[in-house]
Amino acid sequence: MVIMAVKRYFQLGRVFSAMLTAGIAIVGAYSTGYELTLVQFLAFMVMGFTGHAFGGTMNEIIDLELDSMVPELKDKPLVSGDISVNAAYAYALALLFTGYIVMGFVFPSWDAMLLFTISHIAAWYYAYRGKYAPYQFELSLGWLFGFWAIFGAVAVAHTITPWTLVTAGAIFVFAVFINYGNAMKDVETDRLLKVPTRAVAWRYEHRNVLDWHDRNARYGAWIKFFLLAFFFIPILFHYMDWGYFQLQRTFMGIPVYLLAFLLVVLPTQLWVMKMIPGRHGRKYWTRFIVKDLMVTWLAFSLIIIDLVGIGLSLFIFFLPFIWFAGSTLLLYGRFMRVGL
């Protein structure tokens, strides 16, 4: 019974993707040029877990009415009644308190504390209000992840660098696109609950055939354009000979970052854009979000390749998926598949 209760609380916090949140702070920390100790790396993993579970729990509480309308979600902990709303709030507070304790031991500074607090306020705002205010559904998750990347930088280096700003900008746009996919996926229930997403405002329906004349499709493409622009900034300033973005690591005389952009970042983002047109249902958009998350996380992990090398960049890429594989097996009995 105890093991099952723990599983349900972990499911409530959506912890299967917690290492993505941890990875954002880790990439933010490395964007300063700082070399993390093992203790600091592990602390970011723990704080990523607690922070992610806090945000996931708040989302589950606020989305209870919406989730209750979707038959596929009937087994969620709150929808099924296995966990009460009051118990969920207590769990969220315990997660927040745990995060503060870890930070107090490993990153004891006022600036890190401030950004940690702002990030959690942003997580609460996204769940409580951000999804129900025009344009805030699209932007509030981006602000949350952007602040979290900056928190990672400030926690270890007490400063931000041009690389940090590029990193925070890229993760901001990354998150905006995640919510683009979520809005397209949930448009039918969002319309019933009057959630003012762009998909609702622009009258998208799953029966519609998307083409590039539809602003819902063009909106997704523009988000990807801005993401590519952030990734291109270091290349642009490198060849403009602006000192901070002088790319140091090369392969056969070509900057490794440029190769990563041309061989990984650009092709993957164009591939995601290619998947937007067509007639798509909720299941398609669910798979679309997963595919985009995987390839764009790879791109994001490579944003610091000139600072840390390909080995560490790839480790940061694989970490969330190793965690995802193990946690889904333990929580749902299914390898690499969420059971709710």
Report the candidate in 24, 335, 6 with the shortest Cα–Cα distance to residue 175: 24
State in Å, rounded, how far the first CA of the chain is from the last one.
19
Q: Are 31 and 257 in contact (CB under 8 A)?
A: no
Q: Domain range holding 33? A: 2-332
CATH number for the domain harbouring residue 232: 1.10.357.140
Record the tokens describing residue 167, joined without a space: 């990193």
Q: Residue range 48-52: average pLDDT?
A: 95
Judged against a pLDDT cut of 70, whether residue 338 lies above it is answered with: no
Residue 338 lies in a domain: no
**What's the whole-model pTM score?**
0.91
* Mean pLDDT, rounded, of the chain: 90
Residue 92 lies in a domain: yes
Residue 339 lies in a domain: no
Residues 249 and 185: their CA atoms lie apart, in Å, by: 41
Judged against a pLDDT cut of 80, whether residue 301 lies above it is answered with: yes
pLDDT digits (tens, 9 = 90+) for 142-167: 888 999 999 999 999 999 999 999 99
- Residue 335 pLDDT level (bands cut at 50, 70, 90): low
What is the tally of structural domains in the chain?
Answer: 1
DSSP 279: E
pLDDT the model gives residue 262: 97
pLDDT the model gives residue 336: 54
pLDDT the model gives residue 18: 92
Percent of the chain with pLDDT over 70: 97
Judged against a pLDDT cut of 80, whether residue 128 lies above it is answered with: no
Host H or E run for residue 251: strand 250-251
Residue 337 lies in a domain: no
Residue 340 lies in a domain: no
Using DSSP, state whether 161 is helix, strand or coil.
coil
Residue 279 lies in a domain: yes
E strands of the chain, at which residues?
209-210, 250-251, 254-255, 278-279
Residue 267 lies in a domain: yes
Residue 86 lies in a domain: yes
